[in-house]
Structure 1
Amino acid sequence: MATTSGHITSQPVRTIFEAIEARLPSRLELFSRLAKQYSDVTLHNMTVGQVLGGMRGLPCVLWEVSGTEKAGIRYHGKSLKELLEILPRWRGSEQISPEAMIWYLYTGTVPTRTELEVFAADLARRAEPPVEVEEFCDSLSPDIASATQLMMCLSVWGNHSKFSAALVQGAPRAELWRHALEDALDSHSCTSVISARIYANKYRDGRDRTTPLNPQGDIAENFAIRMGRAGDHDFTELIRMYWSLHMDHGANVSAHTMRLSSSAWTDPYLTLASGLIAGTGILHAGAISQALRYNQAMAAALGPEPSAQAVEAYICRTLEKGLVVPGYGHALLRDVDPRLEPITRFINSRPVPASASGEQGHMLRLIGRNSTIVPEILRRRVPRMKSTAPNVDSLSGCLMYAHGLEIDFILLVMGCSRGMGFMTQYVWDRALGLAIERPLSITMDQIMAKM
């Protein structure tokens, strides 16, 4: 309800379909104007270095839901700090609601409290994967890596794609986004549920994998329920925070992989699998596990509260071996990652979890200190680094590990979030009718011929 001049007026409650539909005409008009009036305007002069350097910095991928700048990500023009202030929280939560972030990425608007609750209820209604996928998941050996299991389950899930069914039935191109959205909404909640099932099978002998979900709960709460963490408020808050903070990050490796494969109208589930594959690399999401293992080794060698001199000596030994120090610097950001502030606040506002071992508690204290010590060491020792500020990898893995997540499973938590974010882009790609990606390849001999 809203008040105007002392009178109570009712606000219409939009479904996610209606909210996207309301935004679509203006975005199609802008897309058409850019294509017709400015298609020949030079946007960027490409250099040989950019071709050889993996196309870094080339503004050549249209991204509807966010843009990445040196200071951080802007979501529909707003910074993360702004979103932390305006997006609603779930009942009893201090964190941005992941559902609110999903809604915002789709629509560019802040959901009302009623819209948030109706949207969350719709996702909860969709939260049971197809029986075929569940049975396939339960048949997998626990020796198979968690990420690999999810890739395999997503591949089976593709048999149930509503988008693919619409293509077979000859759905009009202008309506494809609706079928893509149906799949996307299913995936938002079901991917986390099947991930929790993988966890239950792999680490809990299947316990709680069929525990009834809370139809009035959010996706983070239901994820915790199926992991056997029902009622663990801090763990649920941790998941809400990470899913909101990592939901979209523009055209990085996993997101661009999904964008490339989906541009051929690949179904959403195989698209998600392709992004998860890309995320396993240590130069991308795999860096979280790499940073965690590095911090484990440092804590074991130095203890939880080493002197600054001991930390510097350890860092120098790493650099002398020709290795990087995981968790510092960023390919695009040139300042402290904005996502670190809410993560640091989460750590400082809560004691080390009672379930954490001595090692896990030691690591949390160590990385808290190192976030202020290591950047200065790197500035002096590696002057060529464009940024020595800690990145989100420096804390993410350690914090999730301290809350009881096995290293093998951490990538799935991140993958759930990144998949949610990209599916909003997937739907808009279909709504705008974007073309298949067809970059031109060129050989070094051809480059020399142009010099």
Structure 2
Amino acid sequence: MATVESHGLAPVQTLFDVIEARLPSRLELFSKLTKEFSDVTLHNMTVGNVMGGMRGLPCILWEVSGTDKAGITYHGKSLRELQEVLPKWRGSDQTSPEAMIWYLYSGSIPNRAELEQFAADLAARAEVPAEVEEFCDSLSPDISSTAQLIMCLTVWANHSKFSDALMSGAPRNKLWRYALEDALDSHVGTPLISARIYANKYRDGRDRTAPLNPLGDIAENFAIRMGRKGDTDFTELIRMYWSLHMDHGANVSAHTMRLSSSAWTDPYLTLASGLISGTGVLHAGAIMQALRYNQAMVAAIGPEPSPEAVETYICRTLEKGHVVPGYGHALLRSADPRLEPITRFINTRPITDSGSSEQGKMLRLIAHNSTIVPDILRRHVPRMKSTAPNVDSLSGCLMYAHGLDIDFILLVMGCSRGMGFMAQYVWDRALGLPIERPLSVTMDQIMAKL
């Protein structure tokens, strides 16, 4: 892709241009760290690190973000800072997912011309291979949405440009370009296949081939194929979720994709591996767990219960040995920064006629509980390191309130996480990172060292 001239103004760069320009300095830094500082101690590993699933162990190189107890930063900027500086789509109040994608790849803020050109490039890629579409349409609606997308991605792997480049002997230092081609195709194609799954499962196939808006962004075209054309609130919801959830460091789904892709698995199979790990209730599956928990609580004690009723309900949960979904975080020790924009969305775009609906009641319950549940948990679970609400407490409930079935919610999140990780995938190939291969150790071996 060539640089585009813009009528006397500064040239408008493509994403390929920006990565190409950034690559020499990152390769230089990679070489410096590898050659000059490879023996420097970065962390003293403990038995607790091994027994605790490597929690807190800084041992995975991540190009696009860094995570610590204060939260996540993307190329050094916090989520709040990015929401202030990243451009928005025309007529939108939300951070543009395309702008976030660009930033994760490049570490730079796209200008308006670059954003629109990038969105146009993605729109031009909105052609999923016919083999994938036919396979998708053949699947039984009884199969879960997530399983359907995983299967579709494995079929799509037959069309990987990265795999073709490997087979044809492309130079190793050029593989990132083919990886980026696949990644860009997946940024628009995965949402379209997800929307097709939705249309097949819930709408008898209606709108799965509806004409896309060639001047629209990926969120708008996703909404069109789901039969939500013109639903501004839904499109804005998708823009918000995708921009908020793209990257979160080496969590389970991202780490799974990192491990898989380190063996040079193609991007489509890599995305499938991330979806598989995301189904676990200790990871993205917690979104559905929180939604179901809130549904049960509304049914049992109503949308605006007394603090005493909430405490009784939560104590009953704890007595059964269960966790209270939607509170606490494996890493963060304060409120999840993604909660603020979600809460603002709820307050500024209330669900029409939702006051007496199940969805509206759940949103009221969450708003009510977020102010009292942290204190209840502090008193009853003193070992809990953080009792603040996390993003799971609202994510699934808000999407459910906007008409998405519980079964489909994980796909919305999966689209976003896949977009974010593909930036890491491309940089892994550009930097020439090695295969991930930690050394395993048994408890007997540990005891022998103590």
TM-score range, shorter chain: over 0.9
Aligned-pair CA distance for 1:353? 3.5
1:190-241 Cα deviation digits (max 9, x unpaired): 0000000000000000000000100100000000000000000000000000
Aligned-partner residue type, residue 208 of structure 1: D
Aligned-partner residue type, residue 370 of structure 2: S
Name the CA distance, whole Å, in 2 between partners of 1:218 and 1:75: 22
The residue aligned with 2:34 is 35
Matched, 1:282 2:253: no
Aligned-partner residue type, residue 164 of structure 2: A
Count how many residue pairs are aligned between Structure 1 and Structure 2: 444
Aligned-partner residue type, residue 38 of structure 1: F
Matched, 1:139 2:138: yes
Contact 1:355-1:404 within 8 A present in 2 as well = no
Name the CA distance, whole Å, in 1 between partners of 2:421 and 2:408: 20
Name the CA distance, whole Å, in 2 between partners of 1:377 and 1:154: 43
The residue aligned with 1:416 is 415
The residue aligned with 1:149 is 148
Contact 1:147-1:276 within 8 A present in 2 as well = yes
The residue aligned with 2:163 is 164
The residue aligned with 2:191 is 192
The 3-state SS of whatever aligns with 1:192 is helix
The residue aligned with 1:207 is 206
Aligned-pair CA distance for 1:82? 0.3
Name the CA distance, whole Å, in 2 between partners of 1:44 and 1:353: 52
Same amino acid, percent of matched pairs: 82
The residue aligned with 2:75 is 76
Name the CA distance, whole Å, in 2 between partners of 1:351 and 1:39: 53
Aligned-partner residue type, residue 63 of structure 1: W
Contact 2:354-2:361 within 8 A present in 1 as well = no
Contact 1:243-1:414 within 8 A present in 2 as well = yes
Name the CA distance, whole Å, in 2 between partners of 1:370 and 1:12: 51
Name the CA distance, whole Å, in 2 between partners of 1:81 and 1:353: 28
Contact 1:356-1:402 within 8 A present in 2 as well = no
The residue aligned with 2:384 is 385
Aligned-pair CA distance for 1:378? 0.5
Aligned-pair CA distance for 1:303? 1.0
Aligned-partner residue type, residue 385 of structure 2: K
Contact 1:337-1:392 within 8 A present in 2 as well = yes
The residue aligned with 1:439 is 438
The residue aligned with 1:45 is 44
Aligned-pair CA distance for 1:143? 0.2
Aligned-pair CA distance for 1:356? 8.8
Name the CA distance, whole Å, in 2 between partners of 1:354 and 1:417: 29
The residue aligned with 1:336 is 335
Which residues of 2 match residues 295-314 of structure 1 at below 5 A? 295-314=294-313
Aligned-pair CA distance for 1:69? 1.5
The residue aligned with 1:248 is 247
The 3-state SS of whatever aligns with 1:372 is coil
Name the CA distance, whole Å, in 2 between partners of 1:345 and 1:392: 13
Name the CA distance, whole Å, in 2 between partners of 1:273 and 1:159: 13
Q: Unpaired segments of 5 or more residues in structure 1?
A: 1-7
Aligned-pair CA distance for 1:9? 6.9
Aligned-partner residue type, residue 446 of structure 1: Q
The residue aligned with 1:99 is 98
Aligned-pair CA distance for 1:437? 0.5
Name the CA distance, whole Å, in 2 between partners of 1:352 and 1:238: 12
Name the CA distance, whole Å, in 2 between partners of 1:355 and 1:152: 36
Aligned-pair CA distance for 1:127? 1.3
1:336-364 Cα deviation digits (max 9, x unpaired): 00000000000011222448971111001
1:23-62 Cα deviation digits (max 9, x unpaired): 1011000000000100010111100111011000111000
Contact 2:355-2:361 within 8 A present in 1 as well = no
The residue aligned with 1:126 is 125
The residue aligned with 1:4 is none
Q: Which sits farther off after the overlay, 9-18 or 174-183? A: 9-18
The residue aligned with 1:396 is 395
The residue aligned with 2:216 is 217
Alignment RMSD (CA, Å) = 1.1
Contact 2:354-2:360 within 8 A present in 1 as well = no
Aligned-pair CA distance for 1:154? 0.1
Contact 1:337-1:391 within 8 A present in 2 as well = yes
1:66-121 Cα deviation digits (max 9, x unpaired): 01121211000000010010000000000000000000000000000000000000
The residue aligned with 1:3 is none
Matched, 1:180 2:173: no
Aligned-partner residue type, residue 169 of structure 1: S
The residue aligned with 2:364 is 365
Name the CA distance, whole Å, in 2 between partners of 1:281 and 1:33: 38
Contact 1:356-1:403 within 8 A present in 2 as well = no
Please give the TM-score of this superposition, normalised by the length of structure 2: 0.98
Contact 1:177-1:430 within 8 A present in 2 as well = yes
CA gap of 1:151–1:356, structure 2 versus 1, over 3 A, is farther
Contact 2:119-2:217 within 8 A present in 1 as well = yes
Contact 1:355-1:403 within 8 A present in 2 as well = no
Aligned-pair CA distance for 1:178? 0.1
Aligned-partner residue type, residue 107 of structure 2: G
Which residues of 2 match residues 247-266 of structure 1 at below 5 A? 247-266=246-265
Name the CA distance, whole Å, in 1 between partners of 2:174 and 2:79: 32
Name the CA distance, whole Å, in 1 between partners of 2:90 and 2:97: 12
1:122-174 Cα deviation digits (max 9, x unpaired): 00111121000000000000000000000000000000000000000000000
1:396-423 Cα deviation digits (max 9, x unpaired): 0000000000000000000000000000
Name the CA distance, whole Å, in 2 between partners of 1:185 and 1:382: 45
